[in-house]
A and B are shown apart, each in its own frame.
Chain A
């Protein structure tokens, strides 16, 4: 009898667990691969990386690709919004039924542009389609941002070609026309010939774009947003490209992945040795200990304290510290000489 009771209890528990699991909805943190305490920047970074990997166009032989991609979009939509994230943390996915803002396409294009799913490669295929102008924006970034990464939100207000009533002239070109003036006499003239197309008007639309400053990014690197450039009424819009410009830093100089800095020590420290901390770009301290004589111009290499390498952020360059020795300006008096 006891056994039977226990079995029933187990079954009930199992059933309850299954129901809860099903009703609780998706684990958005797991889908994005971030911890529950992830910052908004971590979430954006995770989304951008996974969106490129999981896009259905890139996974054409995976039947679950659409679902995985949809899950990713839902996860980002909730976790990137402060209010929705709080609701989700407290009530689970079920607590979120109201207020579905924006489709996944909107989210994806805010990171990559309207035609971002073409990933650059497919776009050049049809050279006969005219393209609108490209826009290049020089984006200034600090060395702190190169070290730790960052996201820049940008509002793009652009003219978009929309259908309008009536017709317009399009594909205008010069053609040679032959007219007969009389028997055996012809004249060739140049004429402008146009087709008729549906009428188009330009309407300004606005959307937010997310530009990632990736760790280790180098000067002149570009982040394209496909289709976010200027429109072409007879063709496709051009692209918007953000060109990185790394600003000079007052303390650190960048050379590749290495950082160079100068530190001034006193004459006593140069002779006797010293211990100090250098504050790095993200606030952490680099501890330096020296117990030998330090000549002016001497250098100390700190491996792993440089910038992360853009292609593999687990590899870092070095921090090279050059020591300047400060000699006293005035003559030493008797007491100082004794000391």
Chain B
């Protein structure tokens, strides 16, 4: 009868053991799922490539100036996905830096700075060379230009989601960043014209693609005694 008691105790312990392990496994699994959804926003300080969803080209710039209009650095749309000249950094307005890693809100005013040349996405009252819309250029030095460098992110919802198509409306001239398909010849053959248009349409949807997305950090530890 001692042996029988021993067996029953063993069985109970075994069942408890299995139960606890399963519970822990379920908790671990659900925690894994939960964490992935935080990584879905475009955040302050991130580098992104922006794809025009209607024409399948990425926003791009390079050290080539417009031959007409303002004569500033040109901004185009390119087909290939592996050019570092298609990276742009998302930054706050002049003199109002955004907090590193904070998700960009829908409606927030930002600057879009070309990584390689340090010039800001910019538009002004000049005509674009191919379609006579408003010229969009890259302007400034080391990330500093002027008040016409600011764009508002238009999207539904609260924050700019990485896999969502958004519009960029210029603060100042109220045009939307657009592509309608006109192509340049030599020396940038095949690249599309990027310009500003006054009405929203299917030509001004943009989606974030490749990039380096900064996550919010914890505050550095505070030590109250050394």
Q: A134 vs B100: C-alpha distance in the bound complex, in angstroms?
A: 22
> Which residues of A are at the interface with B, using a C-beta cutoff of 8 A?
39, 41, 82-84, 87, 95, 98-99, 101, 132-141, 144-145, 147-159, 202, 204, 208, 229-233, 238, 240, 247, 282-284
**Overall SS of chain A's interface:** mixed
- Hey, which chain A residues are within 8 Å of B217, CB to CB? 150-153
Instruction: State whether the Cβ of B32 lies closer than 8 Å to any Cβ in chain A.
Output: yes
Quick one: given A83-B27, A283-B224, A284-B225, are A135 and B84 in contact (CB under 8 Å)?
Answer: yes
The 9 A-B pairs of least Cβ separation, nearest first, read A133-B84, A283-B222, A148-B220, A153-B215, A155-B213, A83-B28, A230-B84, A150-B220, A98-B25
Tell me how far the C-beta of B139 lies from the nearest C-beta in chain A, rounded to whole angstroms.
18
Residue pair B210, A157 in contact (C-beta under 8 Å): yes
> Which residues of B are at the interface with A, using a C-beta cutoff of 8 A?
21, 24-25, 27-29, 31-32, 39, 45, 47, 81-85, 87, 89, 97, 100-101, 115, 143, 209-215, 217-226
Residue pair A83, B210 in contact (C-beta under 8 Å): no
Q: A83 vs B225: C-alpha distance in the bound complex, in angstroms?
A: 30
- Hey, which chain A residues are within 8 Å of B31, CB to CB? 82-83
Picked from A39, A151, A157, A238, the residue with its CB within 8 Å of the CB of B211 is A157
- Hey, which chain A residues are within 8 Å of B224, CB to CB? 283-284
Q: Residue among A99, A138, A148, A149 with the most chain B CB within 10 A?
A: A138
Picked from B29, B39, B223, the residue with its CB within 8 Å of the CB of A99 is B29
- Hey, which chain A residues are within 8 Å of B101, CB to CB? 152
Q: List 16 A-B contacts (CB under 8 A).
A: A41-B218, A95-B21, A133-B84, A138-B89, A139-B45, A140-B97, A140-B100, A141-B100, A148-B221, A150-B220, A152-B101, A157-B209, A158-B210, A202-B81, A238-B84, A282-B223
Residue pair B209, A204 in contact (C-beta under 8 Å): yes
Residue pair B82, A231 in contact (C-beta under 8 Å): yes
Residue pair A98, B83 in contact (C-beta under 8 Å): no
Other A-B pairs, 13, CB within 8 Å; known A99-B28, A148-B223, A233-B82: A83-B31, A98-B21, A101-B32, A136-B115, A153-B217, A154-B215, A155-B215, A157-B211, A157-B213, A159-B210, A230-B82, A231-B82, A284-B226
- Hey, which chain A residues are within 8 Å of B222, CB to CB? 148, 282-283
